[in-house]
Amino acid sequence: MLAHAFEADDLDLDAYVAEWKWDGIRVQAVHAPGESGTGESRLYSRSGDDISASFPEIPAALDVACVLDGELLVRGEAQGGKEGGAASFNALQQRLGRKTVSKKMLREAPAFVRLYDVLQIEGEDLRPLPWSRRREALESLLRRLDPERFDLSRLIDVPGFAELAALRENARDAAIEGVMLKRRDSPYVAGRKTGLWYKWKRDPLLIDCVLMYAQRGSGKRSSFYSDFTFGCWDGDPDGEGQLLPVGKAYFGFTDAELKDLDRHVRQHTVNRFGPVRETDKSLVFEVAFDSVHASARHKSGLAMRFPRIHRIRLDKPAHEADRIEALRALIRD
């Protein structure tokens, strides 16, 4: 079950409950009883991929026949602080895609699931029940689960839209993605059904970067330079400062803007490396992104999450783009 982006301010809030929107990975944890009585537990991503090998401590801790829905997180305090907190998404990302996980990683980045729904318990299908009934069942089931690996997404009080907007705005201070609204009487349905669940994410961060490299896209964009790498200044741009790449984006612009950008790349190419063109440092992008994390894989020492082109700043000279210190100040562990 997926949520719609929140756009209306005329909802009857009494019909909804609110929760934090945690910055993790949506998962389902499943335990199916076996003939021998032990059964098997698996962990699945939203796309249906089996990620049990990357997070073996989760299925290993689940021995109750059920299907659980929640957010996969890593223990820490970057999100939400000491009370019910979690590490940043970057800590979780370190473990994604691994076929084996070392004891050191299990110890230093232990995973857990913050539960917010239950689809089935011991063979009983709970999906047709209203959210309020499923929540009661989940709270009761939680007493039978390992508290190190499973906890409950707490509800937050929202007496009005002003308070809801304030919570959503303050979510950035706690490194949380935003807030969720769920109808108390909503069944659990596949896909997105209007009016049942809403997500209201915090506004993105913005920074001015300089276009450095471009590559052609794929599919309909295969003839256009549409994949852009951009950077921020390390040091004084009017002195010996240099641009360090900080991100890559391939959306956020219109078809007309894409044609203009493709023309700019072709007219301002100063070097080529296989399919990559290096451009002169003359075009500024206002880049939107959700967060920034430390990254040893990048020369800049950081990585942006969900970067996208927010605006093309034809009015701004490249030497006035932001310095990398502005991004480093936003890094959360």
pLDDT value of residue 272: 97
pLDDT value of residue 23: 85
Alpha-carbon dihedral sign for residues 77, 81, 83, 88: negative
Distances (CA, A) of 258 to 114, 159, 270, 277: 41, 44, 20, 16
Q: In the predicted model, is pLDDT for residue 173 greater than 60?
A: no
Q: In the predicted model, is pLDDT for residue 332 greater than 70?
A: no
Burial of 311 from C-beta contacts in 10 A (0-12 / 13-18 / 19+): middle
Q: Which residue has the higher pLDDT, 216 or 79?
A: 216
Convert 67-76 to b/e letters by CB count within 10 Å (16 or more is b).
bbbbbbbbeb
Q: Could you tell me the pLDDT band of residue 303, with boundaries at 50, 70 and 90?
A: confident
CATH hierarchy code of domain 205-328: 2.40.50.140
Q: Per-residue pLDDT averaged across 2-31, rounded? A: 80
Q: In the predicted model, is pLDDT for residue 333 greater than 60?
A: no
32 vs 141: CA distance, rounded Å: 16
Q: Per-residue pLDDT averaged across 108-129, rounded? A: 95
Q: Could you tell me the pLDDT band of residue 175, with boundaries at 50, 70 and 90?
A: low
> Which range, of 18-22, 166-170, 256-260, 292-296, averages the lowest pLDDT?
166-170
- Going from N- to C-terminal start, the domains of the chain cover 4-201, 205-328
Is there a common fold for 4-201 and 205-328? no
Question: Is 248 one of the annotated active-site residues of the chain?
Answer: no
Q: Per-residue pLDDT averaged across 60-86, rounded? A: 85
Q: Per-residue pLDDT averaged across 224-246, rounded? A: 91
Q: Per-residue pLDDT averaged across 155-171, rounded? A: 78
pLDDT value of residue 117: 96
Q: Could you tell me the pLDDT band of residue 36, with boundaries at 50, 70 and 90?
A: low
What is the CATH T-level fold of the domain 4-201, as seen in this structure?
A: D-amino Acid Aminotransferase; Chain A, domain 1 (3.30.470)
Residue-averaged pLDDT of the chain: 88
